[in-house]
């Protein structure tokens, strides 16, 4: 049998399966882009191990890295998360969209407020 | 929404309109068609009608809905059964959709409960295996906030 390619979706879910990596995403969400040092300070973990966690997140497209002076800043990437939500619960999104449509419709109905 | 219930989706929305007006949008076919889907709805327990939504790949939902009015309380609650109407879809849905209207200030808070998801279907099983317990409640809704903030981009 040919080897199975790791799909983008599998990489995202594998990345999210780790509590450490989910916490990194939460930190980036709450405090915005941060350097590796700032992120690493939240974890009692040797630097090479922490770098490995970041690598997994990067390869999954959940975070990106950019140089800022001598630092490397990590930021959360929304698009991959969006796919996760859609995959995990397409109906939640379905209903949110429908409810937005309902709100717009009600706003457009005139006059008959009682 | 803090429960870890994999068998239901719950969403609510504040609408700046009184319950009587929201109720119209939930129960008048020409209005329903404008925000949800066209269908031969009638406010009568036991009334059956069909609707066509978009299929959702990976969820086992064909998009063909056989709906039935299960219960209602004017301007307060409307419960509708949704079954997958595609005979070629043996694992099809069997859901209840419950709308609850609550006065809030000068408007209405509309609650939706979409219940009856099979916790053993492959989608839910995969989600559980990968995420472990607590994923939905702890992370999902945080992600959801992020996503909503990101959407306008």
Examine residue B86 and state whether it is found in any structural domain, yes or no: yes
By Cβ distance, the residue of A14, A92, A112 closest to B9 is A92
Examine residue B4 and state whether it is found in any structural domain, yes or no: no
Examine residue B108 and state whether it is found in any structural domain, yes or no: yes
Examine residue B10 and state whether it is found in any structural domain, yes or no: no
Which distant-in-sequence residues (6+ apart) come within 8 Å of B5 by Cβ?
none
Mean pLDDT of chain A: 84
At residue B102, the pLDDT reads 96
How many Å apart are CA B101 and CA B77, to the nearest integer?
Answer: 6
Examine residue B45 and state whether it is found in any structural domain, yes or no: yes
At residue B64, the pLDDT reads 86
Q: How far does A27 lie from chain B, in Å, by closest CA?
A: 11
Q: How far does B66 lie from chain A, in Å, by closest CA?
A: 17
Which residues face B61 on adjacent strands? B56
pLDDT band at residue B94 using 50, 70 and 90 as cut-offs: confident
How many Å apart are CA A73 and CA A26, to the nearest integer?
Answer: 15
By Cβ distance, the residue of B36, B58, B142 closest to A98 is B36
Higher pLDDT among residues B24 and B54, named by residue: B24
User: Cβ–Cβ of B139/A91 closer than 8 Å?
Assistant: no
Which distant-in-sequence residues (6+ apart) come within 8 Å of B4 by Cβ?
B133, B134, B136, B137
Rg, Å, chain B Cα set: 17
Domain that holds residue B130: 25-147
Stretch A61-90: mean pLDDT: 82
Measured on CA atoms in the order B67, B54, B148, A19, is the torsion positive or negative?
positive
Higher pLDDT among residues A20 and A87, named by residue: A20
Higher pLDDT among residues A73 and B150, named by residue: A73
- Percent over 70 (pLDDT), chain B: 69
Domains of chain A, start order: 8-82 (1.10.10.10)
Cβ atoms within 10 Å, residue A80: 20
- Percent over 90 (pLDDT), chain B: 44
- Which range is least confidently modeled, A43-47, A57-61, B116-120? B116-120
**pTM score of the predicted model:** 0.64
Q: Does the pLDDT of residue B133 top 70, yes or no?
A: no
> For chain B, what is the domain count?
1
CATH code, domain with B134 = 3.30.530.20
Query: pLDDT of B27-79, one tens digit each?
Result: 999 999 999 999 999 999 999 999 988 877 666 678 888 999 999 999 999 99
- Helices within B4-102 (DSSP H only): 19-27, 29-35
By Cβ distance, the residue of B34, B58, B150 closest to A105 is B34
Q: A104: which 2 tokens?
A: 């717009």
Which residue is closest to B10 within chain A, CA to CA? A92
Residues of B in contact with A10 (CB under 8 A): none
Which residue is closest to A76 within chain B, CA to CA? B146
Examine residue B18 and state whether it is found in any structural domain, yes or no: no
Interface-testing mutation among A105, A111, A112, A114, with chain B (most B C-beta atoms within 10 A):
A105
């Amino acid at each position: 049998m040919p080897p199975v390619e790791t799909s983008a979706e599998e990489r995202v879910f594998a990345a999210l399966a780790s509590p450490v990596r989910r916490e990194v995403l939460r930190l980036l969400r709450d405090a915005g882009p941060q350097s590796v040092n700032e992120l690493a300070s939240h974890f009692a973990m040797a630097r090479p191990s922490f770098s490995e966690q970041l690598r997994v997140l990067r390869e999954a497209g959940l975070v990106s890295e950019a140089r800022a002076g001598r630092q490397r800043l990590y930021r959360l990437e929304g698009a991959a998360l969006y796919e996760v939500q859609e995959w995990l619960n397409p109906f939640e999104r379905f209903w949110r969209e429908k409810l937005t449509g309902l709100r717009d419709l009600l706003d457009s109905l005139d006059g008959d407020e009682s | 929404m803090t429960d870890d219930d994999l068998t239901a989706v719950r969403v609510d929305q504040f609408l700046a309109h009184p319950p009587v007006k929201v109720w119209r949008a939930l129960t008048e076919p020409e209005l329903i068609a404008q925000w949800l889907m066209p269908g031969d709805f009638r406010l009568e327990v036991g009334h059956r009608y069909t609707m066509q939504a978009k299929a959702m790949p990976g969820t086992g939902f064909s998009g063909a809905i056989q709906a039935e009015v299960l219960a209602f309380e004017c301007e307060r609650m409307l419960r509708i059964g949704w079954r997958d109407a595609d005979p070629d879809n043996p694992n099809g849905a069997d859901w209840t959709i419950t709308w609850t209207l609550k006065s809030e200030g000068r408007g209405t808070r509309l609650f939706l409960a979409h219940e009856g998801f099979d916790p053993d279907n492959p989608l839910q099983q995969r989600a559980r295996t990968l995420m472990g317990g607590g994923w939905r409640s702890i992370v999902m809704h945080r992600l959801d906030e992020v996503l909503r903030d990101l959407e306008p981009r």
